[in-house]
Structure 1
């Protein structure tokens, strides 16, 4: 587990809670992503997983099989012209998400519960799927842009790196090597991206 994720608040089972996961009554709601928290991360250029600054380098995201297959076929012509609700993060954080999140890690994974993500509805039982030998990918881009409407939508520009997988566990070695390749964060996550939901909502109001 990357140090920045290990420092995150935990649920009752000991699982780290993402920066974009809202808290209700002192309990994290993993089935929902918070539009307010996503907005804060977008404006402040923070990782949607750990909540720490992204810095000036490339930004990373995990993509599903369909998008990964398109990138693999035409890596020089990738632009998210249609936009996506998936926010960016650090390389090590996205590798970790691809390895441990059941929905991201396995193409045959099915949702145990309905899920909502900034305007996106994923029904219970839906499978993630694969395209041939591609189940998804961890992808780096030069930068991102975002728009704010009913939801926050991102567009990523300038493909930098492409790490495809059928199963997320294929990234385990890269994840283990990540601390030796990246500069460790030197600051703590702000309270508005920890377990204080009131602080998160108040912070988001600054940017609306």
Structure 2
């Protein structure tokens, strides 16, 4: 099976399979049957494909759908979207997408069988990403992607029916433009070891503005990020000057934090739509906090204490005028 060019940067697990962007991974191994909600948040923030983890650019967002209506004005899915060539590749190698007799193996969907006909639809944009309480696990929130603008589609009973389309997609495949800052985030996102306490790029997504998404810290797996000043740093990325943002990034010991500031400045005015919504929501929150912005180094801490933003630098050097209360 030919591997799309845009998937060749992916890490490979012990059996030789490329590790796609959404699956759970750690130093102990890869779980292809588990979708990681923290990683989905990073995909939504930076507008990356759920298979190859690279940006969409001007390409359509492809989603497997279950509705029979055609065309669809919009679709909402608990899975993140993918490029067309990545969807076609997955359809031929993923056990669930490959076989019409495939069954779900997890405890909540045990016995559910794949639809006889698999339908993928290409949408023009992802309008919003929202945290919803899971219907399968009460009290657990998962991310749902809302897509608009039905532009194309394909369907199949078996992967043999889409081999010609896959060959054509491979021939048309183009390199995706990636800046230096984004390439750092993509490299870190592709690590097999997720860092123990959670994906480092998910932390970068939070400070880029995802921290302002409604109920984001209720999402499955996000408890590790609670109480670590992410909203405060997100406020800096939202309201701070270019000099303040770059100073924070240069002073951070976290490589992902060091890259996210330049990424925010590069994309200013052209953020992915879900991130635009989150930052707009954050604008009112940060605005209300501004009158409470304390004077002096790093909020109320001593000038030689560690800055509350989490950068690891002394408060007097990192944020001498203080930062908003998170």
Q: Which TM-score bucket, shorter chain as reference? A: 0.7 to 0.9
User: With structure 2 as the length reference, what TM-score do the two structures score?
Assistant: 0.53
Contact 1:19–1:194 (8 Å) recurs in 2: no
Contact in 1 for aligned 2:45/2:205 (Cα 8 Å): no
* CA drift at 1:21: 1.0
Structure 1: 5+ residue runs without aligned partners? Answer: 116-120
CA distance in 1, matches of 2:150, 2:177: 28
RMSD after superposition: 2.0
Secondary structure of 2:77's counterpart equals coil
Moved more, 168-177 or 152-161: 168-177
Q: 1:118: which partner in 2?
A: none
Partner of 2:49: 47
SS at match of 1:141: strand
**CA offset at residue 201 of structure 1?**
4.3
| Matched positions, count | 188
Aligned residues of 1:84 and 1:154 also touching (Cα < 8 A): yes
Instruction: Report the counterpart of residue 118 of structure 2 in structure 1.
Output: 136
**CA-to-partner distance for each residue in 1:76-98, whole Å, 9 max, x for gaps?**
x4322xx2101111110111111
* 1:182 equivalent in alignment to 2:173: yes
Q: For residue 114 of structure 1, report the CA deviation from its aligned partner.
A: 1.4
Larger Rg: 2
Q: Which protein is richer in strand relative to its size?
A: 1
Higher relative contact order (CA 8 A, sep 6+): 1
Q: State the distance in 2 between where 1:99 and 1:183 align.
A: 21
Per the TM alignment, residue 10 of structure 1 is displaced from its structure 2 partner at its CA by: 1.2
* Secondary structure of 1:122's aligned partner: coil
**Aligned residue number for residue 151 of structure 2:** 160
1:8 paired residue among 7, 10, 33: 10
**Deviation at 1:26?**
3.6
1:61 Cα deviation from its structure 2 partner: 1.9
- Within the alignment, does 1:103 sit opposite 2:96 as a pair? yes
- The equivalent position to 1:78 in structure 2, one of 73, 77, 84, is 73
Q: Deviations over 1:132-163 (max 9, x none)?
A: xxx11222001112113521111111100011
Query: Is the helix fraction higher in 1 or 2?
Result: 2
CA distance in 2, matches of 1:168, 1:204: 35
Cα 1:186/1:55, change in 2 over 3 Å: closer
Q: Give the structure 2 partner of residue 62 of structure 1.
A: 64
TM-score normalized by the length of structure 1: 0.81
Aligned partner of residue 163 in structure 2, secondary structure = helix
